[in-house]
Amino acid sequence: MQESKKVFERYLSVERNASRYTIENYIRDITQLASFLKGKGICSNNKEEVDVSSIDEGAIRLFLGHLYKDHKKSSIARKLASIKAFFRFLIKKGILLKNPAELISSPKIEKYLPTVLTIDEAKGLMEAGNSQESGVRSQESKSKKLVTILRDKAILEVLYSSGIRVGEIVGLNMKDIDLDSGIIKVIGKGNKERIAIIGEKAREALKAYMEEGSRVRGQGLGNEPVFLGARGKGITPRVVQRLVKDAAYRSGVSKDPTPHSLRHTFATHLLDAGVDLRTIQEMLGHVSLSTTQKYTKVSVQRLLEVYDKAHPRAKKK
């Protein structure tokens, strides 16, 4: 199965021109299937590797059943979609004759309203990015710590200011940012390029981080990632996810926001301020307007909550 995975990864990169984030998700899901089957001793060949031609519908259903223990239905649906795409590719290349996942239905995903922060909560989250830890002794350590603090502050500000996805922010390179105009170039889903706008606060935070990063570690321009980790390489989505959760904890926000929550918050606050859906659609990079329309439900829901709390005859006592 290892060789099939490599060929599929090349196909995603070269022919499909998929983003790095998308490719990583596909390969991670397929690797998880292979690891599960190998651990169970199912579909293995003489070399104790998973034989892709031996994987049948029953084996895939067993894997999906295992996932239900600790995975959300949305996560299981995505993994099944990855597996189906993998086997469709193998059929297309003549490696297999039948897709063993073809008749497996995707789990029904519960509809939910996305987590959205209020303006005050979003402000508190942004200000939490200013916190600094004490106890750092050497000047060099203080400088590196300051770079990290400025980086985290810039990430939070850019996410809320632009509404870009977590995969888009970790994929930002130095050449993609124009601080003077407040414009950044991002590579979204399907490897499609679009322009995002950042406000004054985000520009200030980015400038402070980039200047300090250049002074401390000689961070340059061009294709170098904007947001670097401790080892000088680009950060991962998981780093950003942890950052948002930590900032929410420090700011006292009772909700459990994710980087995507800041994207939802960005869109909802624009809609509440009177920005039309078409403009928000373009800013978010949505192909379909129906995807953007879910934010109208969020706004109506918030209005109902405010009304129920405020109006003396809204609910029975």
**Tens digits of residue pLDDT in 204-219:** 999 999 988 888 766 6
> Domain limits of the chain?
2-92, 119-309
pLDDT in tens, 92-126: 989 888 899 999 988 887 666 678 899 999 999 99
Average pLDDT over residues 48-70: 88
Cα–Cα distance, 79 to 112 (Å, whole number): 20
Q: Would you call 269 a catalytic residue per the annotation?
A: no
Catalytic residue, candidates 84, 260, 294, 302: 260
Tell me which of 21, 26, 160, 295 is the catalytic residue: 295
Instruction: Kindly state the average pLDDT of the residues 166-177.
Output: 92
Q: Residue 135: its pLDDT value, please?
A: 41
263 in active site: yes
Q: Average the pLDDT over each of 139-148, 156-165, 237-246, 251-260 and give the range with the smallest value.
A: 139-148
Grade residue 155 by pLDDT with cuts at 50, 70 and 90: very high
Class of domain 119-309: mainly alpha
CB atoms within 10 A of CB 273: 8
Whether the pLDDT of residue 137 is over 50: the answer is no
Instruction: Name the active-site residue from 79, 151, 153, 165.
Output: 165
203 in active site: no
Catalytic one of 145, 286, 294, 302: 286
The pLDDT mean for the chain works out to: 84
Residue ranges with strand state E in 16-136: none
| Architecture of the domain spanning 2-92 | Orthogonal Bundle (1.10)
Comparing 130-144, 204-218, 235-249, 279-293, the range with the smallest average pLDDT is: 130-144
Q: What is the per-residue pLDDT for 232? A: 81
Q: What is the pLDDT of residue 239?
A: 94
Active-site position among 189, 194, 207, 245: 189
The whole-angstrom separation of Cα 111 and Cα 93 is 37
Quick one: average pLDDT of 258-267? 92
Return the pLDDT at 125.
Answer: 93
Which residue of the set 79, 203, 263, 269 is catalytic?
263
Is residue 189 part of the annotated active site? The answer reads yes
Mean per-residue pLDDT for 175-195? Answer: 86
* DSSP sequence for 256-291: ---HHHHHHHHHHHHHHTT--HHHHHHHHT-SSHHH
Q: In this predicted structure, what is the pLDDT of residue 134? A: 40
Question: How high is the pLDDT of residue 115?
Answer: 86
pLDDT of residue 133: 47
Contacts of 230 (CB under 8 A, 6+ apart): 144, 148
151 in active site: no
Q: How confident is the model at residue 136 (pLDDT cuts 50, 70, 90)?
A: very low
Greater confidence, 37 or 21? 37
In angstroms, the CA 133 to CA 110 distance is 40
Q: Give the Cα separation of 176 and 188 in Å (integer).
A: 13
For the stretch 23-55, pLDDT in tens is 888 999 999 999 998 888 877 765 667 888 889
3-state secondary structure of 193: strand
pLDDT-based confidence at residue 280 (cuts at 50, 70, 90): confident
Contact 100, 108 (CB under 8 A): no
Do 2-92 and 119-309 come out as alike in CATH topology?
A: no
